[in-house]
């Protein structure tokens, strides 16, 4: 109980405060980057970021009532945190007005660069999978959509198609992974397994992270902006696409901050991971991607460990022990006495730190 009281009495910001801090940090970082590189307004990263964020935030005021009219209310798992049951009925599938804005603006701003188009199409492909999953969940009136195998097969199909295009477009160079200290790791044929795994793992990890108001949207915005800054010198077109998507997810947090008026659903969370992984693959930056995706990786790992530990400790009655109070780990923290905004604030801070580490190791 003492640990619980200590956590609750600590810094406990509102969702609005977290949004302001998030927007200020991202805007300030992009402004600093533009000034450092001598970019004017038209060639800046800040302008497309702000346009994307503003457009998504504005569209949200019209889209959310429409989602309500279409009865897109989220079903909340009864075995989840009891405090989340009051969120039942909150519109979901918010990704439908987030991802297309960032993808379209990014493609236009990059002057229809083929690489930007490929990443945008891949992200929209994952959006489509998430959309079908969300729609089936809503149609079934319970939190069950596509079967896990069916969902994974569709994700793998898009991953293989993208990797094939990447290899065709960039040749053998795409099979290299750049590590710190100017070390280049040639993957050869192993590239296919690593790249497909990266797309599957990243999209599912961001999906698992989407469980607390503002969490996936905010950490995703930070990760995309960080990746954009890291790849900017060599891949300006993909950097523009990343920054437009980053702005879109920030604009979404305007409506998704605690207490959320809309959830992104699998529609937005799968697309987020797909975009991050696709850019990491094309730019030969899987190592940097691994670093800045630390939050998402830990979320996914906590689920894997929970399931594995439960199975390994089953007794004669078929009941096992739990490693965490609940997985993913953000639910464990909630059940340990953290408020949603404390969890989100801590994860935002960690994600900023991970981006800084990624920047230093580029």
pLDDT at 77: 63
Nearest CA to 351 among 226, 250, 216, 219? 219
Greater pLDDT, 15 or 81 = 15
Over 90: is that where the pLDDT of 13 sits? yes
Q: How many helices (H) and strands (E) does the chain have?
A: 14, 2
pLDDT at 115: 96
- Widest pairwise Cα distance in the chain: 69
CA 78: distance to chain centroid? 25
pLDDT at 2: 39
If you average pLDDT over each of 86-90, 139-143, 335-339, which comes out highest? 335-339
DSSP string, 323-351: SSSSSSHHHHHHHTT--HHHHHHHHHHHH
- Dump pLDDT digits (tens) for 232-279: 999 999 999 999 999 999 999 999 999 999 999 999 999 999 999 999
- Dump pLDDT digits (tens) for 192-205: 999 999 999 999 99
- Dump pLDDT digits (tens) for 86-111: 777 889 999 999 999 999 999 999 99
**Mean pLDDT across 47-64:** 97
- In Å, how far are 147, 166, 204 from 150, measured between CA atoms? 5, 24, 14
pLDDT at 361: 84
pLDDT at 3: 42
The tokens describing 41, both together, are 């307004």
Under the banding of pLDDT at 50, 70 and 90, the label for residue 1 is very low
Give the integer Cα–Cα distance in Å for 128 and 268: 9
The tokens describing 325, both together, are 């109070």
Over 60: is that where the pLDDT of 8 sits? no
DSSP string, 46-65: HHHHHHHHHHHHHHHHHHHH
Give the integer Cα–Cα distance in Å for 136 and 59: 25
Q: Token match 């969120």: residue?
A: 87
Mean model confidence pLDDT for the chain: 91
Share of the chain above pLDDT 90, in %: 74
Cα torsion at 266, 269, 271, 276 (round to 10°)? Answer: -160
Nearest CA to 100 among 217, 254, 244, 261? 244
Under the banding of pLDDT at 50, 70 and 90, the label for residue 4 is very low
- In Å, how far are 138, 300, 302, 306 from 321, measured between CA atoms? 32, 19, 14, 9
Over 50: is that where the pLDDT of 27 sits? yes
Give the integer Cα–Cα distance in Å for 339 and 18: 13
**Cis status of the peptide bond prior to 169, with omega within 30 of 0:** no
Over 90: is that where the pLDDT of 318 sits? no
Cβ proximity of 200 and 152 under 8 Å: yes
pLDDT at 99: 97
Cβ proximity of 196 and 159 under 8 Å: yes
Nearest CA to 91 among 129, 121, 62? 62
């Amino acid at each position: 109980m003492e640990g619980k009281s200590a956590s609750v009495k600590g810094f406990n910001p509102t969702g609005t405060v977290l949004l302001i801090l998030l927007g200020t940090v991202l805007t300030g970082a992009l402004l600093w980057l533009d000034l450092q590189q001598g970019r004017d307004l038209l060639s800046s990263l800040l302008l497309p970021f702000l346009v994307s964020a503003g457009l998504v935030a504005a569209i949200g005021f019209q889209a959310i009532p429409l989602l309500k009219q279409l009865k897109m209310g989220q079903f909340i798992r009864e075995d989840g945190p009891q405090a989340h049951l009051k969120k039942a009925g909150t519109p979901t599938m918010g990704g439908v007005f987030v991802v297309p804005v960032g993808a379209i603006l990014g493609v236009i701003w990059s002057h229809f660069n083929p690489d930007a188009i490929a990443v945008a199409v891949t992200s929209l492909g994952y959006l489509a999978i998430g959309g079908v999953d969300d729609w089936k969940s809503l149609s079934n009136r319970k939190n069950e959509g596509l079967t896990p195998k069916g969902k994974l097969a569709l994700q793998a199909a898009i991953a293989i198609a993208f990797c094939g295009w990447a290899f065709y477009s960039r040749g053998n160079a795409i099979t290299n992974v750049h590590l710190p200290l100017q070390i280049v790791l040639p993957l050869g044929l192993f590239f296919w397994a690593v790249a497909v795994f990266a797309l599957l793992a990243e999209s599912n990890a961001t999906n698992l992270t989407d469980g607390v108001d503002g969490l996936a949207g905010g950490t995703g915005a930070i990760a995309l902006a960080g990746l954009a800054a890291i790849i900017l010198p060599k891949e300006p077109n993909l950097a523009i696409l990343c920054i437009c998507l980053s702005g879109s997810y920030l604009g979404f947090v305007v409506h998704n901050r605690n207490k959320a008026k809309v959830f992104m659903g699998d529609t937005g969370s799968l697309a987020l991971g797909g975009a991050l992984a696709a850019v990491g693959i094309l730019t030969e930056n899987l190592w940097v991607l691994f670093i800045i995706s630390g939050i998402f990786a830990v979320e996914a790992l906590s689920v894997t460990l929970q399931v594995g530990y439960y199975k390994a400790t089953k007794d004669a009655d078929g009941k096992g022990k739990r490693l965490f109070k609940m997985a993913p780990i953000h639910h464990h923290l909630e059940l340990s006495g953290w408020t949603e905004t404390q969890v989100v604030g801590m994860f935002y801070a960690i994600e900023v730190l991970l981006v800084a580490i990624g920047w230093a190791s580029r």
